[in-house]
Amino acid sequence: MKKAYLVIIVIAGLAAAIPLVAGPKIVGGPFVVGVTQRTATVVWIVQSDEITLRPAAGTTTLTSPSLRVEKTTFTGLQPNTRYEYAIPGAGDPGTGSFKTIPPAGPTPYRFVVYGDTRTRHDVHQRVIGELMKHGIPDFILHTGDMVAEGNDSSLWPIFFGIEKDLLRQAAFFPALGNHERNTHYFNELFREGTTCYSFDWGNGHFIVINSDIENAAGNERDRNAFWTAQTRWLEDDLLTHQKSDYRFLVAHHPPFTAVTRRQGDNPHMTALVPMFEKYHVSAAFFGHDHNYQHYLKNVVQYVTTGGGGAPLYDVDIPSAEITQKVASVENFVTVSVNREIAKIKAIAIDGRTLEEFDIKSSK
């Protein structure tokens, strides 16, 4: 971090002698990913131009921005420390802060979970506005479908424009949704080289998997190979983190749903339920269904929070045996962990508490 501050100081010292030059046009971020106890990557998106397209015989014009992803990784950081950063020449849009991961142990922490922010941008804005009224979390988990079409470069600035005030203050850990279309932007922006990953925060272990089999490969053989490899990785990861007080999992597609037309759609996720039980997953968070759903099956909590802005789905036929709460409403979830108790609260877009429940640590 010292080098970063030195660069900013030198530029500030030269400002009086050098004519001011317009800084980069930041249209996404900055935000921070890949946070550990010692490292963090600051990412932002710069627009260099805008391209127009129209049929030779028509008048309808399409426009699309030309985007460039910029990033820098800091190492040698201190655990459980808040850092502030600034992109030289960008002004206030280029500033932000984040907190590094605390050492394993009893340090309290708080995170939020939400997803399916892909459409109805005014509603997405209201969800984020309500979320921020409840305090800035240490980090954010997104259950996928950030945008409606991951390959459409014009949609990413909209997403980041709505989320900028939140993402500038907390580390971001997203899952890949089906509407991202396994786009190269996901790798460039969030996770280079992999769409499944895990990390520790305090006394919790967090696993993010890619449940979007359909976009994982171009043919069935390769899709099956992808899922087999990821499932093997998931089991190994769970096995080696049985000493964690909590094991939280995040994916886009849920194993259970109250949406009638979607029941039975995700057999690959339903097939993972015995593994979740065997390795004592504390809670699993999902999106894909645009509503709030909470199920409890053999001590594992299953929460769907897909109410970030996409059009709502009805909760038609919830399973009587495992259902705790279902509601067709925009929402987000907050989780506050303090030693042996994790307090989970589901909050509607209008600030109403949909549900509150506690999870005890596995120790």
The domain locations on the chain are 2-98, 102-360
CATH class of 2-98: mainly beta
Residues 6 or more apart from 288 whose CB is under 8 A from it? Answer: 115, 116, 143, 144, 145, 177, 178, 252, 253, 254, 262, 266, 304, 306
**What's the CATH fold of domain 102-360?**
Purple Acid Phosphatase; chain A, domain 2 (3.60.21)
Q: Pick the residue with more confidence: 254 or 153?
A: 254
Taking a C-beta distance cutoff of 8 angstroms, is the pair 288, 214 a contact?
A: no
Each residue of 229-253: pLDDT tens digit?
999 999 999 999 999 999 999 999 9
- The stretch 339-360 carries a mean pLDDT of 97
Q: How far apart, in whole angstroms, are the C-alpha atoms of residue 258 and residue 96? A: 39
> In DSSP terms, which residues pair with 359 in a beta bridge?
342
Each residue of 156-189: pLDDT tens digit?
999 999 999 999 999 999 999 999 999 999 999 9
Q: How far apart, in whole angstroms, are the C-alpha atoms of residue 180 and residue 249? A: 19
Each residue of 86-102: pLDDT tens digit?
998 788 888 999 999 99
pLDDT given at position 2: 34
Does the pLDDT of residue 18 top 60, yes or no? no
Q: How far apart, in whole angstroms, are the C-alpha atoms of residue 241 and residue 196? A: 16
Does the pLDDT of residue 11 top 80, yes or no? no
Does the pLDDT of residue 14 top 80, yes or no? no
Each residue of 191-212: pLDDT tens digit?
888 899 999 999 999 999 999 9
Tokens of 288: 């894909």
Mean pLDDT of the chain: 91
